[in-house]
A and B are shown apart, each in its own frame.
Chain A
Amino acid sequence: EAGVAQSPRYKIIEKRQSVAFWCNPISGHATLYWYQQILGQGPKLLIQFQNNGVVDDSQLPKDRFSAERLKGVDSTLKIQPAKLEDSAVYLCASSLPRKASYEQYFGPGTRLTVT
């Protein structure tokens, strides 16, 4: 079974530029999550999708971050404009539908450096 795929793996941009990350979840996983992990911290949830609907985006900085999951499979997370404090690893995770399993499986992540 293929795992969660993410791209790019690394990205370096200047502040005020925009950037987009892509995620393809494990086949059959209806729930998709985007996390931000700052060095030395645990992952922090940014947004959660159930199929193509947003379940929780309470911690997403909506003035600069946006995310979508068209057709309930792939997802894109965008930052525009980027700030220095956005430097982090952006992790995508997926899980089976509710009542089946709450275990989340992570992709390899995208390491973003904002200069």
Chain B
Amino acid sequence: QKEVEQNSGPLSVPEGAIASLNCTYSDRVSQSFFWYRQYSGKSPELIMSIYSNGDKEDGRFTAQLNKASQYVSLLIRDSQPSDSATYLCAVMNYGGSQGNLIFGKGTKLSVKP
């Protein structure tokens, strides 16, 4: 059973702080990793994708991947109240002819003004 694990939270950080969201996955052959943001009552929105070990930065977001430890994280710098949402980690492996995404349950982030 391929699994993606996330701490459900809620994770509460003050405005302006760094929020750190973590995710582990069970399938060692996974090759692509994604972070989605989901506001309450809305659909998931892709915010980051990462495919190789190391860091990938996009504005205030940094995704970090460590395939040896089967660990992927998302850092949000200068957190804003508008970042309050559930963050979903998704992992893709290329079994069969196409890749399928497996999602974690999400971590709820609350940024306090």
Task: Please list the residues of chain A having a beta carbon within 8 angstroms of any beta carbon in chain B.
Answer: 31, 33, 40-45, 48, 50, 55-56, 89, 91, 98, 102-109
Q: Are A102 and B46 in contact (CB under 8 A)?
A: no
Q: Are B34 and A106 in contact (CB under 8 A)?
A: no
Q: In whole angstroms, how far apart are the Cα atoms of A83 and B34 in the complex?
A: 32
Q: In whole angstroms, how far apart are the Cα atoms of A44 and B36 in the complex?
A: 14
By the criterion of a CB under 8 Å from any partner CB, how many residues of chain B are at the interface? 24
A and B contact pairs by CB, cutoff 8 A, 24 listed: A31-B98, A40-B105, A42-B90, A42-B105, A43-B88, A43-B101, A45-B101, A50-B97, A55-B97, A55-B98, A56-B98, A91-B43, A91-B44, A98-B97, A98-B99, A102-B32, A102-B49, A102-B92, A104-B46, A105-B46, A106-B36, A106-B43, A106-B44, A107-B43
Our pick among A31, A41, A44, A106 for the contact of B45 (Cβ within 8 Å) is A106
Q: In whole angstroms, how far apart are the Cα atoms of A38 and B98 in the complex?
A: 24
Known A45-B100, A45-B101, A50-B98; further 15 A-B contacts with Cβ < 8 A: A31-B98, A42-B4, A42-B88, A42-B90, A42-B104, A43-B44, A43-B103, A44-B103, A48-B98, A56-B96, A89-B43, A98-B97, A98-B98, A104-B34, A105-B46
Verify if B42 is at the interface (C-beta below 8 Å from A).
Answer: yes
Task: Please list the residues of chain B having a beta carbon within 8 angstroms of any beta carbon in chain A.
Answer: 4, 32, 34, 36, 42-46, 49, 88, 90, 92, 96-106
Our pick among A41, A50, A104, A107 for the contact of B101 (Cβ within 8 Å) is A104
Q: Which 8 A/B pairs are nearest by Cβ-Cβ distance? A: A42-B103, A106-B43, A55-B98, A109-B43, A106-B44, A43-B103, A42-B105, A102-B99
